[in-house]
Structure 1
Amino acid sequence: MDDIVVAVVERLGLAGIALLMALENVFPPMPSEAIMGSAALAIERGSMQFWPVMTVATLGTLAGNYAWFWLGDRWGYERLGPFIDRWGRWLTLEWEDVERAMIFFERHGHWVVLFLRAAPFMRTMISLPAGLAHMNKLKFCIFTAIGAAAWNAILIGGMQWLSNTFENSNIVSWVIIATLVLAAVAYFWRLATWTPRSER
């Protein structure tokens, strides 16, 4: 199983990892845990190197987060609300989520962008309120890049530890598959149960 996972990530290459990490911040069923887990296996096998993977993964994450930041910064509340009402089902995003994130951002300040990027919750969501608040672009990019690098390093290190601890058990591959399945199930469940604000 490990051989299959490594072969897939090798075929994708560094550019593919960067693209997947960017899309992971836009399209929910593509978890970073699975992407970085696959890269960690390739690093363990010696077919990829840690720092190039870290660099492209962090740049991809920054690009995906900046897309949300740009929407908030350029569109503001008036245009963003209708956009989320229209596409929220497919993004598994509701306006109430944005409002909660905005309250959290206003309460804790710009530093939450850095800390939440290295946390397992609200990692992408915080980019929207940062944009809506017109946070300094350079500061947003620096904080996001630092937090994203920390999160990616944690994922790679954790998967490498699992691989070394449970050698020859294919446990990392099964963790990757389980993560993908759970993400897909959660996504389609959210699609099936999502209702527009006007119908509540």
Structure 2
Amino acid sequence: MKEVYAPFIPGTYNKNSLNELSVLLDKEEKHAIDNLLWSDIGYFPSVDFSIAHADNHIALKYFVREQHTSAKYTAANDPVYKDSCVEFFVGFGSDDKYYNLEFNAIGTALVGFGKDRNGRTPVPDDKVNSIQALSIINWTNDPGGFNTWELTLLIPFDLFIYHDIKTLKETTGRANFFKCGDDLPEPHFISWNNIVSPVPDFHLSGFFGTIKFI
């Protein structure tokens, strides 16, 4: 299984400092989401991410290049996986349950908690709306070309309502990172850590990699 290290970045960040945070994440190591799953059509968007943590937040940035981009959903806990979607699944400590954080290209978020795909508990909308997002989309004029977009996310520890997180320094968890788009002209499923399954399912936590907050 893969490992990803999330370094600590000093400072206090909020919605007014997302541009600064975006620049900081540009300087961190980028990790490829490059396991194309359950597809043989050859369409393979390019996706990378960088991740860090601060005093009260996880900072996460996605870098996407794809031919088809959609961002129809605008309300918390809408089914953003039908849009151009990037995802972060994370479990803390020894807990076998985990959070699924899913975002479309404009930063609309869906968040749930549970042990597997079935019976997940939605995180309340007000907590989901506390995630701050900065989206930059560059649309191509070429019908056969590729759109590029970046999504910077500031995720407060308070979002993780089933855990009392005061700091993530020197802690280890389980995580996977994804790209999908169920209703796009070219549906696709891409993961950071590989998944072995005969059917599409991101919720197989046995295939999560390790995340170390340093």
Question: Which has more radius of gyration?
Answer: 1
* TM-score of the pair, normalised by structure 2: 0.25
Q: TM-score, normalised to structure 1's length? A: 0.26
Structure with greater helix percent: 1
Higher strand share: 2
